[in-house]
């Protein structure tokens, strides 16, 4: 009790020193802090985002800043987010593979949620106060991509090899995507150090910064190495795929490639076919011939969530190499080593009868 009185007396003395009374404090409560505006806070969101998020959400974050430049974070309502979604849907560019702006509406909600998740993590607002999470995302419709037929795949490769200003590069790109089922980002991220010519492997860095070694034919490995050597890749960290002038390629190369193929093969343009269709084609073939577990490993999906059964059907590098070998008709070192091991090693004895006492 004495300690409390002493504390109160000390507080009164301090207030008197400041010239403030208890009545003054009661008459003028502390003013709540003003939250940053959308424009002020956006650079922090962008800086904390990964390259994939910046590429996917950057346009929508810019639209948020343009729509609500001077408004603090806590003044944005769910109806504001809904209105922005409708505006983005209405202004979406119409393409052959578009869904009447549905993807734009989905992305703007995802971008707004990512924006407010950062604000929640920074302690600026409560989780329940996020207006973006009060707006429902449009349900994602089934994709229109499918596996290409053998004839379609042959026609695409033949046209790529006989048109354009760099048929060698285009042929390598198509072959790389067909053999590995990699994404465009994985191919663009390849460096000289990621190519193992001896074992027929490339190290892919893809979505979520996942890294995996993927088998390729020794023929493709040799051509990729020759391509890199001829076009100036010297240091281990030098990009692998390069234009004729020696500069690393960008996503523009893909845009030009498929635009050209669409001009010469009208059905390619009609269906909006892209490199991702090659991924569908390869993975469909692997699943049909080698099963779901090996197809998951081939796609690099082995760590994604799924049913408990997936725990027991995980495939490894040798299984993927065996599928590649069957698909291409070419032997692969990793597949051969697995076969040699299986032919010489035994997990259980041949005689399973109980031992005699």
Instruction: Kindly indicate whether the domain formed by 150-342 is annotated with CATH number 1.10.443.10.
Output: yes
| Interior/surface letters 162-198, b for 16+ CB within 10 angstroms, e for the rest | eebebeebbbbbbbbbbbbbbbbebbbbbbbebbbbe
CA dist 217 → 33, 67, 200, 201, 220 (Å): 62, 51, 6, 8, 5
Average pLDDT, the chain: 85
Does position 354 have pLDDT exceeding 60, yes or no? no
Q: What is the pLDDT of residues 89-140, one digit of tens each?
A: 887 655 554 544 567 888 899 999 999 999 999 999 999 999 999 998 877 6
- Please list, in sequence order, all residues whose beta carbon lies within 8 angstroms of the beta carbon of residue 226, skipping any fewer than 6 positions away: none
Q: Which residue has the higher pLDDT, 287 or 56?
A: 287
- Number of alpha carbons in the 13 Å side-chain half-sphere of residue 12: 6
Length of the chain equals: 357
Does position 334 have pLDDT exceeding 60, yes or no? yes
- Among 167-171, 270-274, 279-283, 343-347, which is the least confidently predicted range? 343-347
Does position 53 have pLDDT exceeding 90, yes or no? no
Tokens 């997990």 sit at which residue?
Answer: 347
**CA 257, CA 56: separation in Å to the nearest integer?**
22
Domain residue ranges in the chain: 38-134, 150-342
Q: Which residue has the higher pLDDT, 145 or 110?
A: 110
Predicted TM-score (pTM) of the model is: 0.70
pLDDT of residue 322: 95
Q: Are 292 and 313 in contact (CB under 8 A)?
A: yes
Tokens 């998740």 sit at which residue?
Answer: 117
Q: What is the DSSP letter of 305?
A: -
Q: What is the pLDDT of residues 194-231, one digit of tens each?
A: 999 999 999 999 877 789 999 999 999 999 999 999 99
pLDDT of residue 210: 86
**CA 194, CA 202: separation in Å to the nearest integer?**
5
**CA 69, CA 110: separation in Å to the nearest integer?**
19
Burial class (CB in 10 A: 0-12, 13-18, 19+), 349: exposed
- Please list, in sequence order, all residues whose beta carbon lies within 8 angstroms of the beta carbon of residue 216, skipping any fewer than 6 positions away: 176, 179, 180, 200, 201, 202, 224, 324
The whole-number average pLDDT for the span 237-249 is 96
Q: Are 219 and 179 in contact (CB under 8 A)?
A: no
Query: What is the pLDDT confidence band of residue 26, given thresholds at 50, 70 and 90?
Result: low
């Amino acid at each position: 009790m004495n300690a409390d009185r002493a504390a109160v007396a000390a507080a009164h003395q301090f207030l008197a020193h400041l010239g403030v009374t208890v009545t003054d404090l009661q008459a003028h409560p502390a003013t709540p802090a003003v939250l940053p505006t959308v424009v002020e806070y956006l650079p922090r969101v962008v800086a904390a985002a990964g390259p994939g998020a910046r590429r996917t959400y950057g346009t929508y974050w810019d639209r948020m800043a343009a729509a609500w430049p001077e408004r603090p974070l806590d003044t944005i309502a769910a109806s504001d987010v809904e209105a922005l979604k409708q505006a983005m849907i209405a202004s979406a560019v119409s393409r052959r593979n578009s869904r009447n702006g549905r993807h734009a509406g989905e992305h703007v909600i995802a971008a707004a949620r990512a924006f407010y998740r950062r604000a929640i993590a920074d302690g600026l607002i409560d989780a329940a106060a996020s207006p973006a999470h009060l707006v429902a995302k449009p349900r994602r419709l089934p994709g229109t991509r499918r596996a290409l037929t053998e004839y379609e795949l042959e026609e695409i490769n033949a046209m790529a090899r006989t048109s354009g200003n760099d048929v060698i590069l285009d042929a390598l790109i198509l072959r790389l995507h067909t053999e590995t089922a990699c994404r465009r980002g994985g191919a663009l991220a390849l460096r000289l150090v990621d190519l193992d010519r001896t074992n027929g492997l490339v190290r892919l860095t893809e979505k979520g910064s996942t890294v995996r070694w993927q088998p390729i034919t020794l023929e493709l490995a040799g051509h990729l190495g020759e391509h890199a050597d001829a076009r100036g890749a010297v240091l281990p960290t030098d990009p692998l795929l390069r234009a004729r002038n020696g500069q690393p390629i960008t996503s523009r190369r893909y845009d030009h490639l498929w635009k050209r193929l669409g001009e010469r093969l009208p059905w390619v343009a009609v269906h909006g076919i892209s490199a991702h269709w090659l991924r569908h084609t390869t993975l469909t073939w692997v699943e049909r011939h080698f099963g779901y577990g090996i197809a998951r490993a081939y796609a690099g999906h082995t760590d994604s969530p799924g049913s408990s059964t997936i725990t027991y059907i995980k495939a490894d590098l040798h299984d993927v190499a065996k599928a590649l070998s069957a698909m291409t008709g070419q032997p692969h070192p990793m597949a051969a080593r697995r076969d040699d091991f299986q032919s010489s090693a035994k997990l259980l004895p041949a005689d399973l009868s109980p031992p005699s006492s």
